[in-house]
Amino acid sequence: MRRRRPQLGPGARHLGLPRLGLPGIGVATSAVHLLSFLALYAAARRDPVLAPRLSLNAARADAATVRTLVGLGVPIAATYGSPRPASSPSPR
């Protein structure tokens, strides 16, 4: 005997949005990251200690600090999406 899913109204499973598939995953992920950035930026702007140090002006950035961060960040970012090493156990 198969269990049936409860019938929902049109669009109920998608909050009224059309199915977007894989591009929708990218749009949703980007939107969440943007909203998270804006919320954290707004919170930091209200903090009396962080606000004077916070700037989105790239010209004010310290070149040595930027080089260090890029040197750390690029190799880490390159590991995302890379194939699993042969020595790692396979997922069950």
Instruction: Flag whether the pTM goes above 0.85.
Output: no
Encode pLDDT of 63-86 as tens digits: 999 999 999 999 888 887 666 665
- Residue-wise pLDDT for 6-58, tens only, equals 555 554 566 666 777 888 888 889 999 999 999 999 999 999 999 988 888 88
* pLDDT for res 57: 86
Residues 6+ apart with CB under 8 A from 24: 17
Question: In sequence order, what are the residues at sequence separation of 6 or more whose Cβ sits closer than 8 angstroms to the Cβ of residue 71?
Answer: none
